[in-house]
Amino acid sequence: MALKIVRELCTACGDCEPLCPTQSITAWKGVYRIDANTCSECEGDGEPGMPQCLDACMEDDCIVPA
**Mean pLDDT, residues 3-26:** 97
Domain ranges, residue 14: 1-65
The CATH number linked to 8 is 3.30.70.20
What is the pLDDT at residue 47? 61
pLDDT tens string 37-61: 999 999 877 666 689 999 999 999 9
Alpha-carbon distance values, 42 to 10, 45, 50 (Å): 20, 5, 7
pLDDT at res. 48: 64
Instruction: Note whether 39 and 2 are within 8 A (CB).
Output: yes
pLDDT at 36 over 80: yes
At 3, the amino acid letter reads L
Residue 62 to residue 33: CA distance in whole angstroms: 11
Q: Structural domain tally of the chain?
A: 1
Phi, psi of 39 (to 5 degrees): -65, 125
Residue 11 CA to residue 47 CA, distance in Å, equals 25
Q: What is the mean pLDDT of the chain?
A: 93
